[in-house]
Amino acid sequence: MRILVTNDDGVRAPGIAALARAAHDTGHEVVVVAPLVDYSGAGAAVGPVHSRDGVDYRSHVIEELEVPTYGIDGPPALAVILSCVGAFGPRPDMVLSGINHGINVGRSTLHSGTVGAALTAAHFGLRSMATSIRWGEEPVPWTTASTLAAALVARLAESPEGTVLNLNVPNVALSEVRGVRRGRLSRGGSIRSAVHDTGESGTGEAPRPHLTLPPAGSGTLRLDLVAPGQPRSDEDLETDAGLITADFASLTALAGVREATGAADDVVRVSVELLQGVLAEAGGGSGAVVGGAPAGTSTGRPTTP
């Protein structure tokens, strides 16, 4: 099995080195392709691929590990796409993303480049896993996260195509992890509030309330942030953030962009009828449906008139 290892902290980050070594120790073929610089918060972005001539890359060496390693001028999702279309050898069978320094839980999973890479892999039908460790000062116990991630490789390989796992671990030694639980996505995020900086700090004046309009012109918004990668202390212990607070590891299955069904079907049906009415009033909307698609379009397969 061929495993692609990527991340959003950059190809030189210690977390990706720890994950690549652990993946290599499972006995599978490993290739590392990751951003040249930090792309934290990039989500599944690929950047302006249509307005550039190509994607620059540079080979890299991970200490005490002999696997092909490349840094690219782009975000982690682009690293996955390029690897899947043959830019760095045969298409991978699995993608491991991380180890991110700072947990990716709750709403932050939507914006995480670490998770975005894993979700991008699912669009190619690959099995993938994002791994993150709670923020902490050095020395970071990378082996805690890498050991747990490596232990899941064989099981992940047997899972359905497109499976995406999100593993978050506490910043403690492996022997101090209290257990592993399935974590529900919490509702917490990184940005709690924002206030306008009036430039009058030190005058005793309270910050401008964040519900007022900003002053005309340019300015600065001061953000009230949750400490990097730290969950709130009031989180439900059944959530991913709450589990990390209590020194449990959290494992969550994720699903990326997919068509909504159920109640959404009624929303689409009524909306289509509404828009058809708008077109009819404008003298349009008379295209006949042929073979399941509007006339004049192609479904990629023969149609019967």
Interval 213-250: pLDDT, tens? 676 777 777 776 655 445 455 557 889 999 999 999 99
Q: Which residues pair with 2 in a beta bridge?
A: 29
For the structural domain made of 2-186+234-254, what CATH number should be given? 3.40.1210.10
Residues 137-188 have pLDDT tens digits of 899 999 999 999 999 999 999 999 999 999 999 999 999 999 999 999 987 6
What is the value of pTM for the model shown? 0.83
Closest of 184, 191, 167, 193 to residue 236, by C-alpha: 184
| Residue 158: predicted pLDDT | 96
- What is the rounded average pLDDT of the residues 194-211? 56
Mean pLDDT lowest for which of 19-33, 179-193, 291-305? 291-305
In sequence order, the β-bridge partners of residue 132 are: 100, 168
Look at residue 136 and tell me whether its pLDDT is greater than 60.
Answer: yes
Q: What is the pLDDT of residue 284?
A: 85
State the chain's mean pLDDT as an integer: 86
**Could you check whether the bond before residue 141 is cis, i.e. omega within 30 degrees of 0?**
no
How do residues 249-268 score in pLDDT, each as one tens digit? 999 999 988 888 899 999 99
Burial per residue of 92-107, b for 16 or more beta-carbon CB atoms within 10 angstroms, e otherwise = bebbbbbbbbbbbbbe
